[in-house]
Amino acid sequence: MGKARLAAARTRGAGAPAGAQGGRARPNPNPFEVKVNRQKFPVLGRKARHAVGQPGVSRARAVHKRTQTLLKEYKERDKSNVFTDKRFGEYSSTMSPEEKMMKRFALEQQRQHEKKSIYNLNEDEELTHYGQSLADIEKHNDIVDSDSDTEERGTLSAELTAAHFGGGGGLLHKKTPQQQGEEGEKPRSRRELIEELIAKSKQEKRERQAQREGALELTEKLDQDWKEIQTLLTHRTPKSENRDKKERPKPDAYDMMVRELGFEMKAQPSNRMKSEEELAKEEQERLQQLEAARLRRMRGEDEGSEARKPKHLSADDLNDGFVLDKDDRRLLSYTDGKMSIEEEQSGEASDGESEEEQGEDLSEEDPENSSDPDGHSDLESDMDSEEDCGRPSGEPRQALGEGTTSIGHRAQEAARNQLPYTFAAPESYEELKSLLSGRTREEQLVVVERIQTCNHPSLAVGNKAKLEKLFGFLLEYIGDLATDDPPNLRVIDKLVVQLYNLCQMFPDSASDSIKFVLRDAMHEMEGAIEARGRAAFPGLDVLMYLKIAGMLFPTSDLWHPVVTPALVCMSQLLTKCPVLSLQDVVKGLFVCCVFLDYVSLSRRFIPELVNFLLGILYIASPNKCGRGYTLVHPFRASGKNSELLVVSDEEDKATWQRRGLSLHWAYRLKAQNKTEANHTSRAWVGRQLHVDVVYISPKPSGAKCPVGSAAVFRTMTLSAQGHGAAVLPNTTLLSCLAVCLALVKGCTQFYSSLPSFYAIVRPLRALLMEHLAGRSHPPELQELCQSALANLEEPEPRCRPLVCAKSKPEPLKLFTPRLVKVLEFGRKQGSSKQEQERRRLIHKHKREFKGAVREIRRDNQFLARMQLSETLERDAERKRKVKQLFNSLATQEGEWKALKRKKFKK
């Protein structure tokens, strides 16, 4: 409370300085009343605020203020009634009375003119005349109610006034003396007079009433007339309404047509049809752009800067990557199946051709194989496609026209026609499998295609998730196909296209799916390594996944969420899995090929690959001297597998021809290893591999298989003395060796620019020399060896010593002083702005607090003083009264004594 009062006092003090501080303006003449606050030393730039003080004056002011406020409150402390004078400016000493009056009048006016309703726009200032509203006066229709006394209204007749109040009437004036004279004589005359007066007024009243009724009647009549006139005046508007009513019911056919034509969508001007060259050019530009982006990622330059966002995102965008852009339309055009059909047809067409070419070979086939012409033709087609390497890739499309009649195409047509047109997207892998199982290759493809088209994300909301799932299921299906017996690689081959399309639509979920299968594979391998210290080569499915990952994602990126783990996975395969059998060799070589394909653009260095090829060369080397190279982990210099690939059968060497390795190998041998049953392996040799035998060596493979070669190859087929068994592995061994040599050649081409190329390939060179020295290989292999070695034999480039990049020169130490901006003197510097502000506020609060305490103390002192003076005053009064009483008593006593003395004297 004290504080509030203080604040009030302070504002009041500040508000009224003019009068109170009038004395301050003039210099105080009395030097004894001035107190000087001495400064010890002058500080530049500091303002001395309280250099001179006037304690007497300020104390007087304070006392004055307290008497005005505190004392008043003190005196009124026990009083409940408060008189508040609300007259404007009553206590203001600065206003003159005239001013006060003017202000009060203005306020009153304002109060009257305050709007009664804020919504009433027409409310104006009401003008008055002698206190009467002008608007009321102007109405003129001062209707007098019949039952009310209209006489009391302002328009009183003179007679009436005279009669009632007895003022002003000449007649009455005249009469009054008469009345005074003859009051006693003619009392009736007065009564008559009054009655007459009453009758008169009644009559007058009746007349006025009749007149008013007449006026009312007239106005009513006038209104009637006006209404009639009004109907005449406004007859036009009803007419227009009528016309509208007429038009609506009968729309004109012609009009309608015109309107329709008017509102019809105009054909938008579209881009003109592009010529072939332009299309090709655009495509080239697009590819160039993509290639540039790929190169940037390969170098590991900032991806964020070049990550382009779609220019415009519609609010209705499903964010499914379905944009009706030109580029995307090209990609999507694959989904309708056309593209794949073309592929198919070209493949089948070449199949057809090859079938004719190789027709005579059919007779030599195994019975089982000949019963399956399709499989056979596939084999041939691959041979063809090998030869076709040089052919431009555009050619298959041209073959479309020629191949329409091919069997494959017809089969596909049939498949298309037989199958239902809509498929629900599978919710689980089992569903997909049940959809696809039991169907032919073409049918499976069509089914997958149709699932995709039926569930395109642009058709329904949930389709996106469905198709994302479909990708995972397809991947799983491919894994199953690859581990099937026999692996159904042809279907995988076709499904890859679908996977690619799905991946283009949903990159993130696709990458997650692939990561998932890779993680599975790695988990399995890790478990095996933990348990036994080594792991077997995984099944064909993992190899397929790795290959597919390389086809869906750019492998040349410096870092890629899918490709980098895949690379690590392959590195594991090549370092942790020992090569125990021919099947492992085939798998390993396949991994090598995939690995090398991954880095074919970026030319990155893969130590594991070189190690593995070295190992393969080693186990294929017949006479090892073991100098100049060291084998690395999965391979051992000695042991039962160290001669896995050595071929000693001269005949096989002579008849060997170079050709591709079959991926089925990787699977078949595994099955054989698993079962370990001799008869199975024999059956396998007889049934499966014989097919290859027939193709590879046209001569019927002899029963004169040397025992030695079979012994060398005992890990593979211990019981393979059956006819033709040993020949086949030998040729395959040579094929493996050929692939290995080709990979060595590829490696040397890739890595020839590396700084320590010589050190990297030194072991390879040593082994190749050994191979050549042996002169035991078929001529083609010898050639291959030679060419690989030729790359290695290149003279070592001159070695330039390494030099670090120049680092920035360190700046000299400088001795200029550090400049700090001084914001305020006497304050702690160097703290942050908030900290400074906080300090300032704390300081201020402290000062205010102290001031408030001081004020309260002074108030109390003042009050105490007042109370004391009151008490003293009361005491003095009492004393005075007592004295007075004593005085009067003394006087009485004196008087009484005097009286007594008088008596005694008497």
Partner 1 sequence: MERDSGPEGVRRALGRLLEAVLASRGQANAVFDVLAVLQSEDHEETQEAVRACSRLFGALLERGELFVGSLPSEDAVMAGSQGATRKYKVWMRHRYRSCLNRLQELLVHPSFEVKELALSTLMKFVQLEGARPLEKPKWDGYYLFPRQLFKAVVEGLLSPEDDCSLLLARFREYLEHDDIRYHTMQAATDTVGRVTDRHPEVPLTFWNNAFTLLSSVSLPSQERGISSFYVKHGELPRTWKVVHLKEHRKAFQGMWLGFLKHKLPLSLYKKVLVIMHDSILPHLAQPSLMIDFLTRAYDVGGAISLLALNGLFILIHQHNLEYPDFYRKLYGLLDPSVFHVKYRARFFHLADLFLSSSHLPAYLVAAFAKRLSRLALTAPPEALLMVLPFICNLLRRHPACRVLVHRPLGHELDADPYDPEEEDPAKSRALESSLWELQALQQHYHPEVSQAASVINQALSVPEVSIAPLLELTAFEVFERDLKKKGQGSVPLEFIPARGLLGRQDDFCAQHFTLS
Which residues inside 249-308 make contact with partner 1, applying CB under 8 A? 287, 290-291, 293-294, 297, 300, 303-304, 307
The secondary structure of residue 689, as a DSSP letter, is I
Q: What are phi and psi of 716, to 5 degrees?
A: -85, -60
Considering the complex, state which of residue 657 and residue 719 has its C-beta at the smaller distance from partner 1: 657
Considering the complex, state which of residue 436 and residue 518 has its C-beta at the smaller distance from partner 1: 518
- DSSP conformation letters of 407-429: HHHHHHHHHHHHS-S--PPPSSH
- In the shown chain, the binding pattern of residues 470 to 489 toward partner 1, with x for contact by CB under 8 A and - for none, equals -------------------x
Nearest Cα to 599, choosing from 538, 558, 655, 543? 558
Considering the complex, state which of residue 631 and residue 725 has its C-beta at the smaller distance from partner 1: 631
Considering the complex, state which of residue 172 and residue 596 has its C-beta at the smaller distance from partner 1: 596
Alpha carbons 451 and 457: distance in angstroms, whole number: 12
Q: Indicate the length of the chain as a whole number.
A: 906
Determine contact, residues 680/672, Cβ cutoff 8 Å: yes
Alpha carbons 727 and 704: distance in angstroms, whole number: 10
Q: Which residues are 53's β-sheet partners?
A: 35
Indicate which single residue of 399, 436, 470, 593 sits in contact with partner 1 (rule: CB under 8 A). 593
Residues 556-575 that bind partner 1 (CB under 8 A): 557-562, 564-565, 567-569, 571-572, 575
Considering the complex, state which of residue 103 and residue 664 has its C-beta at the smaller distance from partner 1: 664
Q: How far apart are CB 356 and partner 1 at their closest, in Å?
A: 19
Long-range contact pairs involving 539-542 (C-beta distance under 8 Å, separation at least 24): 539/482, 539/483, 539/667, 539/670, 540/482, 540/483, 540/487, 540/587, 540/663, 540/666, 540/667, 541/478, 541/479, 541/480, 541/482, 541/483, 542/517, 542/569, 542/573
Q: Are strands 52-53 and 35-36 parallel, antiparallel or unpaired?
A: antiparallel
Residues 386-445 that bind partner 1 (CB under 8 A): 386, 388-389, 393
Q: Which amino acid is at 684?
A: W
Q: Which amino acid is at 205?
A: K
Which residues contact residue 317 at a Cβ distance below 8 angstroms, ignoring those fewer than 6 apart? none
Considering the complex, state which of residue 344 and residue 649 has its C-beta at the smaller distance from partner 1: 344
CB neighbour class for 701 (10 Å; exposed up to 12, middle 13-18, buried from 19):
buried
Q: How far apart are CB 335 and partner 1 at their closest, in Å?
A: 12
Q: How far apart are CB 734 and partner 1 at their closest, in Å?
A: 13
Considering the complex, state which of residue 487 and residue 855 has its C-beta at the smaller distance from partner 1: 487
- In the shown chain, the binding pattern of residues 681 to 720 toward partner 1, with x for contact by CB under 8 A and - for none, equals ----------------------------------------
Considering the complex, state which of residue 186 and residue 515 has its C-beta at the smaller distance from partner 1: 515
Does 734 contact partner 1 by CB under 8 A?
no
Considering the complex, state which of residue 547 and residue 653 has its C-beta at the smaller distance from partner 1: 547
Does 755 contact partner 1 by CB under 8 A?
yes
Does 205 contact partner 1 by CB under 8 A?
no
Which residues contact residue 861 at a Cβ distance below 8 angstroms, ignoring those fewer than 6 apart? none
Segment near partner 1 (CB under 8 A), from 216-224, 416-424, 646-654, 742-750? 742-750
Determine contact, residues 789/744, Cβ cutoff 8 Å: no
- In the shown chain, the binding pattern of residues 440 to 469 toward partner 1, with x for contact by CB under 8 A and - for none, equals ------------------------------
Considering the complex, state which of residue 544 and residue 620 has its C-beta at the smaller distance from partner 1: 544
Contacts with partner 1 by CB under 8 A: the residue count is 117
Indicate which single residue of 95, 411, 454, 496 sits in contact with partner 1 (rule: CB under 8 A). 496
Q: Which two tokens stand for residue 47?
A: 């303002």
**Degrees to nearest 5, angle at CA 490 with 486 and 491:** 95
Residues 632-651 that bind partner 1 (CB under 8 A): 632-633
Residues 779-838 that bind partner 1 (CB under 8 A): 796, 798-805, 807
Considering the complex, state which of residue 144 and residue 496 has its C-beta at the smaller distance from partner 1: 496
Nearest Cα to 734, choosing from 623, 658, 635? 658
Indicate which single residue of 354, 662, 681, 731 sits in contact with partner 1 (rule: CB under 8 A). 662
Residues 757-786 that bind partner 1 (CB under 8 A): 757-760
Considering the complex, state which of residue 415 and residue 740 has its C-beta at the smaller distance from partner 1: 740
Q: How far apart are CB 715 and partner 1 at their closest, in Å?
A: 22
Residues 848-887 that bind partner 1 (CB under 8 A): none
Considering the complex, state which of residue 339 and residue 769 has its C-beta at the smaller distance from partner 1: 339
| Distance set, CA 183 to CA 170, 190, 459, 738, 896 (Å) | 19, 9, 120, 167, 76
Q: How far apart are CB 344 and partner 1 at their closest, in Å?
A: 10
Indicate which single residue of 432, 474, 517, 610 sits in contact with partner 1 (rule: CB under 8 A). 610
Does 656 contact partner 1 by CB under 8 A?
no
Strand locations in 35-147, DSSP E?
Answer: 35-36, 52-53, 128-129, 132-133
Segment near partner 1 (CB under 8 A), from 38-46, 165-173, 376-384, 866-874? 376-384
Residues 305-324 that bind partner 1 (CB under 8 A): 307
Alpha carbons 611 and 762: distance in angstroms, whole number: 11
Does 676 contact partner 1 by CB under 8 A?
no
